[in-house]
């Protein structure tokens, strides 16, 4: 909360390919049509340049999006389509040590800046020079080729607590679960245990029981994400509630969100969330840089409200990364997006991991 406003510790988005996350929300009784703003993938900048998909069936929507992408030459379009076809022919597989940058080597600058980099940093929270090419290909495959709507962007209209944790807590209590909140666990209890906690906490709890697993979990590197919340006194009038931003070291934010348009509530009108994935700056520095970026790129003189800097927001999804396995020891399992799996640090990865660990525990 900030001055009575429910502001998340970071702006979240989902995509249509997150089938397990959407199924979980349905199980919890959440009306996704009401709480999620759904739109075809839109990576346009304020001037309209960039890629925008339509509601056509996949992969025709991708083909038409590339053909009509503003700011791309025909050479750019043809280069990306040929590369995408090569990835599909290879089964969306590459060497485990390949970075996204190496995977996309030779693609035109416009394609890299307006498609690859935004997709990479939003999905893997790392730049193309650092991120895993294999995991990036998995995300592309599921998002672009998993059927109609799989590439859609789903942006929460409400805060994440209302979207998922509050609904999950209510569901558990309705089904007779004994829920205990606000208590720190310092050691593992007897019997089957499911560790649903961050990697570093799981590592501390398993240090004596499974030292090798604990060391692997503790060895994961993490990336920071910053979200700068500010308010505009003038109407935004953006073509979409989510805009891509040109970013570099001096202008670090990759995306801007019109929170007022998303929520529709009076207290959120004019509210802007500017997101810096893979943030390397301290809080004051990133705040100043992002506010200046908003003025230069969006023409907004914003009133700053607060900056949330989550220093261990996600594990660093680098090439060849060995994540800890689901089974920690006999009778002990771990779940979370950091546990071994095909997805990067996403809500979908966490949900799928939770389902798998729960099935292992029950069996």
Q: How high is the pLDDT of residue 143?
A: 87
Residue 5 has pLDDT above 80, yes or no: no
List pLDDT tens digits, range 120-149.
999 999 999 999 999 999 999 998 877 889
List pLDDT tens digits, range 158-210.
988 888 999 999 999 999 999 999 989 999 988 899 999 999 999 999 999 99
List pLDDT tens digits, range 314-351.
999 999 999 999 999 999 999 999 999 999 999 999 99
Q: How high is the pLDDT of residue 145?
A: 76
Residue 1 has pLDDT above 60, yes or no: no
Q: Is the peptide bond before 59 cis (omega within 30 degrees of 0)?
A: yes
Tell me the pLDDT of the chain averaged across its residues: 94
Distance of CA 134 to the CA centre of its chain: 17
> Minimal CA–CA distance to 350: which of 362, 363, 360, 340?
340
pLDDT confidence band for 6 (50 / 70 / 90): confident
List pLDDT tens digits, range 256-283.
999 999 998 898 999 999 999 989 999 9
Q: Are strands 222-231 and 327-329 parallel, antiparallel or unpaired?
A: unpaired
Compute CA distances 58 → 43, 116, 143, 343, whole Å.
17, 19, 10, 21
* CATH homologous superfamily, domain 184-221+318-362: FAD/NAD(P)-binding domain (3.50.50.60)
Residue 2 has pLDDT above 70, yes or no: no
Ranges of H-type helices in 32-90? 32-35, 60-68, 74-89
**The whole model's pTM is what?**
0.93
> Minimal CA–CA distance to 67: which of 58, 76, 143, 243?
76
Q: Is 314 helix (H, G, I), strand (E, B) or coil?
A: strand
Query: What residue segments make up the domains of the chain, in order of their start?
Result: 41-145, 184-221+318-362
């Amino acid at each position: 909360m900030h001055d009575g406003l429910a502001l998340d510790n970071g702006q979240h988005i989902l995509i249509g390919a997150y089938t397990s996350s959407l199924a979980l929300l349905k199980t919890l009784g959440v009306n996704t049509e009401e709480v999620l703003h759904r739109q075809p993938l839109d990576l346009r900048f304020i001037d309209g340049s960039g890629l925008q998909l339509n509601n056509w069936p996949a992969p025709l929507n991708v083909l038409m999006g590339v053909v009509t992408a503003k700011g791309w030459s025909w050479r750019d379009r043809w280069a990306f389509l040929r590369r995408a076809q090569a990835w599909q022919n290879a089964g969306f597989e590459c060497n485990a040590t390949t970075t996204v940058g190496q995977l996309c080597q030779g693609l035109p600058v416009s394609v890299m800046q307006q498609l690859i980099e935004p997709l990479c940093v939003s999905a893997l929270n790392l730049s193309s020079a650092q991120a895993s090419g294999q995991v990036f290909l998995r995300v592309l495959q599921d998002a672009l080729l998993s059927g109609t709507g799989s590439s859609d962007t789903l942006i929460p209209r409400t805060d994440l607590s209302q979207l998922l944790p509050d609904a999950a807590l209510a569901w558990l209590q309705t089904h007779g679960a004994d829920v205990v909140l606000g208590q720190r666990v310092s050691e593992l209890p007897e019997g089957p245990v499911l560790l649903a906690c961050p990697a570093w906490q799981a590592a501390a709890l398993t240090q004596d029981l499974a030292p090798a697993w604990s060391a692997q979990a503790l060895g994961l590197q993490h990336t920071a994400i910053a979200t700068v919340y500010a308010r505009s006194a003038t109407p935004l009038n953006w073509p979409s509630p989510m805009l891509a931003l040109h970013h570099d070291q001096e202008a670090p934010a990759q995306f801007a969100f019109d929170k007022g348009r998303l929520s529709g509530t009076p207290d959120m009108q004019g509210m802007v969330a500017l997101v810096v994935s893979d943030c390397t700056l301290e809080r004051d520095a990133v705040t100043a840089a992002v506010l200046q970026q908003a003025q230069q790129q969006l023409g907004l003189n914003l009133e700053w409200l607060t900056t949330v800097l989550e220093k261990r927001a996600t594990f660093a999804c680098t090439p060849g990364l060995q994540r800890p396995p689901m089974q920690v020891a006999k009778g002990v399992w771990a779940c979370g997006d950091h546990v071994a799996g095909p997805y990067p640090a996403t809500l979908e990865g966490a949900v799928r991991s939770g389902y798998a660990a729960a099935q292992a525990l029950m069996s």
